[in-house]
């Protein structure tokens, strides 16, 4: 599977977990931008549920992007003003690209 540059129409931002100190010395976990890449997007599946009169939606997206060192499954992806949890990262070819399976984080 080759990466076709014309299919990489979307921008995705990888964010890594960082710990910061609050005003009272307590630790807070947050995320900071690690890298922004171009990617193709393939919507996989979706579901909708109701819990305590709140509607929760969930769906998966598969991103295809260029290979970069340092990207791992502990990161999250920002796409279309939504956060996605990384479930799986597969290498395409030999360091040619990455196939990343994700799911929406409900906040």
Residue 5's pLDDT band (cuts 50, 70, 90): low
Structure tokens at 33: 């931008």
Give mean pLDDT, residues 66-79. 94
What would the DSSP string read from start to end of 66-103?
E--TT--TTSEEEETTEEEEEEEEEEETTTTEEEEEEE
pLDDT over threshold 90, residue 30:
no
Share of the chain above pLDDT 70, in %: 93
Res 24: pLDDT:
83
If you count them, how many residues does the chain have?
107
- Token pair recorded at residue 79: 């796409």
Of residues 23 and 89, the one with the higher pLDDT is 89
- What's the fold here for domain 5-104? Thrombin, subunit H (2.40.10)
Q: Is the confidence at residue 2, as pLDDT, over 70?
A: no
- Please return the burial class of 84, using the count of CB atoms within 10 Å of its CB with bins 0-12, 13-18 and 19+: buried
């Amino acid at each position: 599977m080759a990466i076709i540059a014309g299919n990489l129409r979307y921008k995705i931002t990888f964010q890594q977990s960082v710990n910061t100190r609050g005003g009272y010395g307590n630790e807070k976990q947050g995320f900071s931008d690690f890298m922004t890449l171009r990617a193709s997007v393939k919507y996989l599946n979706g579901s909708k549920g109701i819990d305590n009169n709140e509607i929760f939606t969930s769906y998966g997206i598969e991103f295809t992007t260029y290979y970069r060192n340092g990207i791992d499954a502990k990161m999250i992806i920002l796409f279309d003003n939504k956060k996605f949890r990384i479930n799986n990262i597969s290498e395409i070819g030999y360091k040619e690209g990455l196939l990343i399976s994700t799911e929406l984080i409900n906040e």
